[in-house]
Amino acid sequence: MIAKLYVGNLSFGTTEEKLRALFAEAGTVDTVEVIMDRETRLPKGFAFVSMSNQAEAENAIRLFNGKMVDNRELKVNIARPREDRPQSFDNRRRR
């Protein structure tokens, strides 16, 4: 079963390729998604990494939570499910 990790406090220069290579040290990486701002298309400073199973995800947390990458201390933990957010007035009006 795939385990999804939240990776926070990323440098804006950290790429998906760099994260994939780093997390491959802990096991099989299924997906890497650096989150970008919709309007500016710039990184928001966090990403989601999916590992192939829970054991590899826990290993990645042990290895990389608090590790310095690109002069930033990573925050790595199990990703929480996305909460439903109320739509803003602007988003409702655009539909």
Task: Give pLDDT tens digits for 45-69.
Answer: 999 999 999 999 999 999 999 999 9
The span from the CA of 43 to the CA of 36, in Å, is: 4
- Start-end of H helices in 2-88: 16-23, 54-64
Give the pLDDT band of residue 36 (cuts 50, 70, 90): very high
Give me the number of domains the chain comprises.
Answer: 1
CA atoms within 13 A on the CB side of 89: 0
Q: What is the CATH number of the domain that holds 41?
A: 3.30.70.330
Q: What is the residue range of 18's domain?
A: 3-78
Q: Does residue 89 lie in a domain region? A: no
Global pTM reads: 0.84
- Residues present in the chain in total: 95
